[in-house]
Amino acid sequence: GNSVTQMEGPVTLSEEAFLTINCTYTATGYPSLFWYVQYPGEGLQLLLKATKADDKGSNKGFEATYRKETTSFHLEKGSVQVSDSAVYFCALSRDNQGGKLIFGQGTELSVKP
């Protein structure tokens, strides 16, 4: 079946540090891949997405590249801020399954000043 695996958290970084959160997936065919962010007490917000191999999604300084050969979609940011502290979820969807999202377990990021 389809599944998503993320690196375990929590991840604690100092402000301006480089961020990588690993995500790998298992799926048949060509899923779309997403990163969602959840701030405390809120719902999930789409951070970025990629719909085909070698696509790069980017938003607010975050980037992730759809790597079919390694079935990965790692999230990166060159310089994190305290305001980036949140839980990050990697997810995939298949259009022939109603586009339902399958999430990884989430990675909590804490950025210290």
Nearer to other proteins, 29 or 99 (CB): 99
Nearer to other proteins, 40 or 113 (CB): 40
The residues, any chain, with a CB within 8 Å of residue 98's CB and separated by 6 or more, are none
69 binds other proteins (CB under 8 A): no
Q: Which stretch binds other proteins (CB under 8 A): 15-23, 59-67, 78-86, 90-98?
A: 90-98
* Gap between the Cα atoms of 98 and 3, Å rounded: 16
82 binds other proteins (CB under 8 A): no
Candidates 91, 77, 88; CA nearest to 34 is 91
One-letter amino acid at 94 equals: R
* Gap between the Cα atoms of 94 and 85, Å rounded: 29
* Binds other proteins (CB under 8 A): choice among 20, 59, 79, 105: 105
13 binds other proteins (CB under 8 A): no
